[in-house]
Every structure is written in structure tokens, then in C-alpha cells.
Amino acid sequence: MSRFVSFHYTLRDPSGRVLDTSAGGEPIGYLEGSGQIIEGLDEQLRLTAAGEKSRVQVPANKAYGERDPAQVQRVKRALLPVEGELSVGDQFQTGSDRGSPVVTVAGVEGDEVLLDANHPLAGVDLTFDVEIVTARAATAEELAGGQSHGCGDAGCGCH
């Protein structure tokens, strides 16, 4: 039986720096096993109950994966769909489609730009401080649509 789970979280990197949090906002909701949040977090929240608080360690390979050097490529500046100056750290979507990859500018060298298509958290072990708000059987509507209510686009890896 699939469960609907909602939770508040604070996401930290290995140095303890806060990367994202749901504090002050709505809890994140998802269907267990649906791929709506990162695999390692989903696995570790499977046996939780409403009201529980825990610290969850998620290794990079169960979060956003390891860094892939093949995802870093040099591209002619004129071919990029971005107007104006580009700086290291800038991010943009490579196409107009919502599903187009997002890349990060890793370097600018003359008329070429080094683009990194790895997720910004690829290769990073993550720590989530989690408080479970809801843990219940999923409704027929949630199961049919594969969707849950209250799932935002946050660092928890939703969508």
C-alpha cells in the first residue's frame, strides 16, 4: 500500500551549511516510491510516523548522483540562447521547453563558454533534518494521478 507523506525539512551540505528549508512554508508532500523526491530520502522515510523528527543522511549516489565529467562541455557563445553577459555560476535553461536541461556556466574563455549540465548537488552527500507532518494511506485520486498535493519545487528533490 502506498502512503502519502508530508514533511518539513532543512537540507544541509557536508559542512553543515543550510541549502534549503521548508520552515515558514507549507510542508512537502509526496507518494512513497513515486519518484517525486530523491531516492535516498524516500527510502529512509518509509517507516516514519506523523510527528517523528529525524536526521536523514543521503549519500550522493542516492541523491542527485555522482558528478559526470561528460556533462561538462565547451560551447561557442554565439550558440547559446542567452542574451547579455555570462558569468561563472550563472544558470539557464538550454531551450524553451520546460523539460530542457538547466546548465551552469563553469567558465568563460573568449568566445567559448564551459557549461556544466550536472545537477548543482551532484556528488554531494546531503543531510536532511525532517519532521513528518502526515503519514497515511494514499487516496485513490493520488494513486491514479501519481501526484500528491503540496509538493513544491524545493531542494528535497521533488519532480
Q: Does pLDDT of 97 surpass 60?
A: yes
Does residue 159 lie within any of the structural domains?
no
Q: Do 14 and 54 lie in a common domain?
A: yes
Q: What is the per-residue pLDDT across 53-85, written as a single tens digit (0 to 9) for each?
A: 999 999 999 999 999 999 999 999 999 888 889
CATH code, domain carrying 73: 2.40.10.330
* Structural domains in the chain (count): 2
Can you give the pLDDT at residue 146?
53
Residue 109 within a domain: yes
Looking at the structure, do residues 111 and 131 belong to the same domain, yes or no?
no
The CB density around residue 146, as the number of other CB atoms within 10 Å, is 12
Strand partners, 23: none
Q: What is the CATH number of the domain that holds 15?
A: 3.10.50.40
Q: For residue range 102-143, what is the model confidence (pLDDT) as tens digits?
A: 899 999 999 999 999 999 999 999 999 999 999 999 998 888
Residues 6+ apart with CB under 8 A from 41: 56, 58, 63, 128, 130, 156, 157
Neighbours of 40 (CB within 10 A): 21
80 within a domain of the structure (yes/no): yes
Domain that holds residue 103: 69-116
Residue 30 CB coordination number (10 Å): 28
Q: Provide the 3-class DSSP secondary structure of residue 18.
A: strand
Residues 45 and 58: their CA atoms lie apart, in Å, by: 11
Task: Tell whether 16 and 44 lie within a shared domain.
Answer: yes
Asked if the structure places residue 131 within a domain, the reply is yes
In a domain, 133, yes or no: yes
Tell me, yes or no, whether 58 and 19 share the same domain: yes
pTM: 0.78
